Amino acid sequence: MVARKMLDYRISSLPIIDDENRPVDVICKTDIAYALADAKSFKEQSKKLTTIEAIKNRQPMIFLSETDTVNHILDFALSRKDCRCVFVINPKNGTLTGAISLSDFISHILYTNLSSTFSNTNINTDNTTDIAKN
C-alpha cells in the first residue's frame, strides 16, 4: 500500500505515474488521512482504500517546470496546505525530474547563507548541510 511506503521511507507524498512514465497527480499523507477520516469503518476502509479514492476530493496537483525560479517554486509550495512537496518535470517531455520539499528549501537557504557568511574566513563549511539536517 502507498501509505506503508510513505511511512517506511518517511516521505509525505508520492507522484502517481502513468504508463509513459509521466506524472499525472500526487498522493499525500493528508489525502489518505482525509479519506480515512471520512470512512464509516476506519479499520476496514484502511485495508481497501485506493489511491484514486484518496485523491478524488481535491484539485489535481500542479507540477512545476525545471525552468521555474526557486522563488516561484517556494511560493507554490507554501501556498499548498495539503502537500508540502513540489514535483518538478522536464518541460520538453513531461517526465518527472525531481521533488523539492520544504526541508530542502530550508537546508538550501541555511547552507547558502552560512557559506556566504564564512567564505572569507578559515571556517570549514563542508558539513553545513549535516548541521542543517540536525
* Topology of domain 2-133, CATH: CBS-domain (3.10.580)
Measured in degrees and rounded to the nearest 5, phi and psi for residue 17 equal -105, 140
Cβ-Cβ contacts under 8 Å for 83 (sequence gap 6 or more): 12, 13, 26, 28, 30, 31, 61
What tens-digit pLDDT sequence spans the chain (134 residues)?
788 888 899 988 999 999 988 999 999 888 888 888 776 655 556 567 777 777 777 778 889 999 999 888 888 888 877 777 899 999 999 999 999 988 888 888 888 765 555 444 443 444 433 433 33
For CA atoms 6, 77, 132, 90, give the dihedral sign.
positive
pTM recorded for the entire structure: 0.68
Radius of gyration in angstroms for the set of CA atoms belonging to the chain, rounded to a whole number: 18
